[in-house]
Amino acid sequence: MAIAIDFGTSNTVVARWNPITQQPETLKLPGLSIQQGQNPPLVPSLVYVEDAASGKVLAGKEVIDRGLDLKTNPRFFRTFKRGIGSDIQGFLPELDGQTVGFEQVGQWFLAGVAAAVRAVPLPLDSLILTVPVDSFEVYRHWLGEVCQSLEVEQVRMLDEPTAAALGYGLTDAKLLLVVDFGGGTLDLSL
């Protein structure tokens, strides 16, 4: 079954094609997702590192529920997607004898999302990931390596605004502008 993940700077959305209803559906992942009113469930892109040496982390809603989302706490990470693939020096914290980089935090986060999908339980044999339009090669390479560690048979990457156009259904219009205004990027597709 194909699972789609829109890994965002602020929030992450996980979806699948429902073979019964023949419609896409956003997944609510227990422990990770929040849902407000009629809005689809979102996974806050948050990580709290309990033990860096053993890779024990909390992610998403669980970080908020436990009150661990304090900006001053070096174990709390938000907007870490912005730092993936960037050469940032002198900013990364040392936790439990380990220097924790944004790539590691992102891998922990995506591994948590994958584990939550499997716990639903849903098979995760095919994965579709969205990426910013002009994402640099380092980011795409990192994402590919993360997917290898998730043991997924097939991985596809799709530009974020293209995914948005497909998700909302293309109209009969000959010209369509899709604006993907995210927490870390602004992508346009015409």
Residue-wise pLDDT tens digits, 92-124: 889 999 999 999 999 999 999 999 999 999 999
CB 108 within 8 A of CB 55: yes
Structure tokens at 178: 């899709």
pTM of the full structure: 0.90
Structure tokens at 130: 């969205």
What pLDDT score does 138 carry? 86
Backbone dihedral angles phi then psi of residue 43, each to the nearest 5 degrees: -105, 110
CB 127 within 8 A of CB 3: yes
pLDDT at 170 over 70: no
Any idea which of 74-83, 146-155, 159-168 has the lowest mean pLDDT?
159-168
| 12-38: average pLDDT | 93
Question: CA geometry: angle at 58 spanning 158 and 53, to 5°?
Answer: 100
For 17, 43, 45, 54, 156, the CA distances from 36, given in Å and listed in that order, are 22, 12, 16, 33, 30
pLDDT at 63 over 80: yes
Residue 171's pLDDT band, with cuts at 50, 70 and 90, is low
Please state the length of the chain. Answer: 190
What pLDDT score does 162 carry? 77
Arithmetic mean of pLDDT over the chain: 89
CB 104 within 8 A of CB 93: no
pLDDT at 90 over 70: no
Measured distance CA(75)–CA(78) in Å, rounded: 10
What pLDDT score does 86 carry? 80
Residue 69's pLDDT band, with cuts at 50, 70 and 90, is very high
DSSP β-bridge partners for residue 99:
94
pLDDT-above-70 percentage for the chain = 94
